Amino acid sequence: METISRASSSRKSGTASAATSKSKTLQPGSDTESDVELSSREVTSDLDFKKVDIFDDKAWDTDLECDDNTPAYDHSGKTAYIEACKLVGVIPVSYFLRHMQDSKVNLSHHGLGANGMKAIAMSLVSNTEITDLNLADNWLGFHGGMAVCQMLKENCFISHLDLSDNKLNYQCAQSLCAILLQNDTLRHVILTGNDFDDKSAVHFANTIMLTKNLEYLNLSKNNFCEAAGVVFGPAISENSCIKELDLSWNHIRRRGAVSVAQGVKTNVFMKKINLSWNGFGVEGAMAVGDALRGNSVLEDLDISNNRINTEGAVIIGKGLAVNETLKVLKIGKNPMQSAGCWGICAAILKNPNCILKTLDFSDILVNQDFNEIFNKVQEQFPELKMRHGGMEPPLNPKARVHPMVKLHSYIQKNNLRLVDFFNKFDKDKSMSVTHEEFLTGLVETGINLTEEETHQLLEELDRDGDGEINYSELVIGHTDFQEKERQMNMVITSMRPITT
């Protein structure tokens, strides 16, 4: 592409103007007319265009040139942050300044407080880089939480937000829930440990029911109780966006537990729900079992540590017997014992369409009966992985009672002398009895001895091994037993702690 330079054009324009002025002073037919024509041809020749490259900055000049010193737009908001810190009177967080251009920023445990959060919020209004922001454990309080809400009205880039352990309380709940519905980019929100209570539950229930963007919501470790569960249930039922909900470590019990489980039953979108560490009990377990029968989308259920006993476990098992979508079931830390685990495995065996991959019985001791039925489960479902709390310790066998104790007890109970007791066996008064006579006497007196105990007693009393027990042998055996008993009592007494 070619053009002419501004300097050359000006020079040629001046020459042409002079020639025109001269031509106006000449009269037609004058002697110099031919000279004028010659001059005009020379001017035309002088106007030849110079070829200039437009990419050469020195070859052209214009008043529209841009100023190269104009500062570029700050997408990170660093300048705005420094100015905001001056405005609210806080020291800038150096970590935040260094990472404002990162997509993921972790500001947890930085002790920001309300004013520190206000400064950061001002800069985040214009920040286009951060998409994952962790503000956990900064004691933001009500004013810091409101600063976050105001920021989220303008920021359309943050999709993951963690506000755990910030003492937001119910005062901030309404504004926070309103912005969760208004913001179109938030997908993953964690609000653990913010002391939200039943008053706050109404606002969060509305968010669960109406949100069109949230996919994950964590409300664990708050103060939601029975009333909160009652309002959460219908909201969960109507939810059509949240895929994963965490309500663990709250106090949802009785009617609240039943309501939440009923909401799970009719929900057609949620894939994972964590209800552990609440207090569902048998009543809640019945509702969970019913939910497993009716729900056809849930894949992951955690109901650990919910006071679910053996009866509750069997009821939940009835739901598993027909469920065809659940892949993970965590039901550990419940007082269901080995019998409850056995009942769940028995229910799984009845469901040929079961697709469970993980079965968690953490901290529950199981016995050999459970092992046997679980082996059958593994044969039918080889991909199923199971975890339990270990095997029950074997029952301690009852301490063996020396057969002489039973003889001694009989003698004392009936207030007999040893010779009187012997006479019951010695029918012929020979002061000696055979083994057969001794056994017959035991039956007549009603002393209940096992065959092993009887054999042991005969061996100890028949000291000379002649097949008969005489009175002297009975006296010696009885005396030896009393001496051993006395020594044992002395040992036990010496082992007792000395008290004053």
Q: Are 337 and 311 in contact (CB under 8 A)?
A: no
CA 78/CA 80 separation, integer angstroms? 5
What is the SS3 assignment for 132?
strand
Looking at the chain, the whole-number percentage of residues with pLDDT higher than 90 is 62
Phi, psi angle pair for 222, to nearest 5°:
-110, -160
From residue 449, how far is each of 402, 407, 437, 458 by CA, in Å?
A: 10, 10, 15, 12
- Taking alpha carbons only, the member of 481, 485, 436, 446 closest to residue 460 is 481
Q: How many CB atoms within 10 Å of residue 105?
A: 22
Residue 360 β-bridge partners: 330, 387
Q: What is the mean pLDDT of residues 24-44?
A: 46
Residue at 488: amino acid letter: M
Q: What is the pLDDT of residue 489?
A: 75
Q: What is the mean pLDDT of residues 136-164?
A: 97
Tell me the per-residue pLDDT of 391-426, one tens digit each, with 9 for 90 and over.
Answer: 988 776 666 777 888 888 888 888 888 788 888 888
Q: What is the pLDDT of residue 76?
A: 72
Q: What is the pLDDT of residue 476?
A: 84
pLDDT category at 438 given cuts 50, 70, 90 is confident
Phi, psi angle pair for 249, to nearest 5°:
55, 45
Instruction: For residue 486, give both structure tokens.
Output: 């006395």
Q: Are 385 and 359 in contact (CB under 8 A)?
A: yes
C-alpha neighbours within 13 Å on the C-beta side of residue 195: 13
Q: What is the mean pLDDT of residues 152-172?
A: 96
Q: What is the mean pLDDT of residues 212-226?
A: 97
CA 407/CA 412 separation, integer angstroms? 9
Q: Are 357 and 328 in contact (CB under 8 A)?
A: yes
Where do we find the tokens 């920023």? 105
CA 42/CA 299 separation, integer angstroms? 94
CA 1/CA 54 separation, integer angstroms? 7
Q: What is the mean pLDDT of residues 186-199?
A: 97
Report pTM.
0.70
Query: What's the mean per-residue pLDDT of the chain?
Result: 85
